[in-house]
Amino acid sequence: MRYIGELRDGEMVSETYLCKTKQTLKTKAGKNYYSMLLQDKSGTLDAKIWELSSGIDHFEAMEYIRVDGQVVSFQGSLQLNVKRVRRSQEGEYDPADFVPTTAKNVEQMYSDLLKYIAKFQQPHLKRLAESFFADDKDFALRFKKHSAAKSVHHGFVGGLLEHTLGVVNLCDYYANNYPILNRDLLLCAAMFHDVGKMEELSTFPENDYTDDGQLLGHIYIGAEIIGARIRTIQGFPPQLAAQLKHCILAHHGELEYGSPKKPAIIEALALNFADNTDAKIQTMTELLNSGDEKATWLGLSRLFESNIRRTTF
């Protein structure tokens, strides 16, 4: 397959892509044309169909389409001038090619998570974690495929798992080095801290905010999911439940970042650092990987409020 990330100015292309969006617009001369956003796992590409004539079959957004056309450079970005288009047929393409996916081994990462759970000593936390990750096969399937974001960081299949494991790993390191931390509470909170994203974001290839996601947010949703499951576990200590849910609620660290409570216990504080560290290092990594390879300075990043520089010497 010819991936979007490998296309070069001037090339002729004949390939299937996912049509993420489709608009009908008008040229200055008043002629209709289509403007589309094509996607595969390597990225996205603007595409235009200037001549709505023969060879342009009917298709809709979120369908897989086979396009013939030429890559051109427009205002510094590549664009595809499409000459022919039709819906692709099932079998003609592999859906896995059209969504960005973690570069890491999903099963290995999931297995790492399970190993952490196996070592939990607090029985109720172990029961809770197992009830999701070990016993709930549907949850496991969905957890492995979910992304951790619409864009920004870990916005790909397996992203939620990769980010969750990254945070759990950091928390494990903290627990080894700062003995005041309660390992089981901290690691359990880390495993579930972003579980609300499974309802906040729809699955790929859409990967967009859901209605519930926008109205309630993953912080509330996650705490509610855990709270509901806890009520099914006999003898779960109420104080432990409150502190676990507190860790989830407080994991953004500041009210203005959407946490309704600031960290009050040290595990909530540690989780906030682990989440922030993994998320921001990954965000800057993605930013550095996506920037012009030859540039030292990549321009102002609003998120980091700084002109970002590659480390070179």
Task: Please say whether the beta carbons of 147 and 157 come within 8 A.
Answer: yes
25 belongs to the binding site for its own copies (CB under 8 A)? yes
Distance CA 267, CA 307 (A): 33
Question: How many degrees, rounded to 5, is the angle at CA 273 between CA 156 and CA 223?
Answer: 70
- Mask: binding to its own copies, 259-298, rule CB under 8 A, as x and -? xxxxxxxxx-xx--x--xx--xxx-xx--x-------xx-
Task: Please say whether the beta carbons of 253 and 276 come within 8 A.
Answer: yes
Binders in 81-100 for its own copies, by CB under 8 A: 81
Q: Which is nearer to its own copies, 55 or 299 (CB)?
A: 299
Distance CA 226, CA 236 (A): 12
Q: Which is nearer to its own copies, 64 or 159 (CB)?
A: 159
Q: How far is the CB of 43 from its own copies (least distance, A)?
A: 19
Q: For residue 148, give the DSSP letter.
A: S
Separation of CA 308 from chain center: 22
Q: How far is the CB of 223 from its own copies (least distance, A)?
A: 6
Instruction: At 304, give phi and psi (nearest 5°).
Output: -90, -5
Q: How far is the CB of 161 from its own copies (least distance, A)?
A: 15
Give whole-number Cα distances, 308 to 155, 281, 286, 299, 305, in Å: 21, 13, 12, 6, 9
223 belongs to the binding site for its own copies (CB under 8 A)? yes
Name which position in 178, 232, 290, 292 contacts its own copies (CB under 8 A): 178
Binding window for its own copies (CB under 8 A); candidates: 12-20, 96-104, 105-113, 222-230: 222-230
Task: Please say whether the beta carbons of 83 and 25 come within 8 A.
Answer: no
Binding window for its own copies (CB under 8 A); candidates: 87-95, 144-152, 153-161, 176-184: 176-184
Read off the tokens for 9. Answer: 């100015």
Binding window for its own copies (CB under 8 A); candidates: 39-47, 98-106, 144-152, 301-309: 301-309
3-state secondary structure of 142: helix
60 belongs to the binding site for its own copies (CB under 8 A)? no
108 belongs to the binding site for its own copies (CB under 8 A)? no
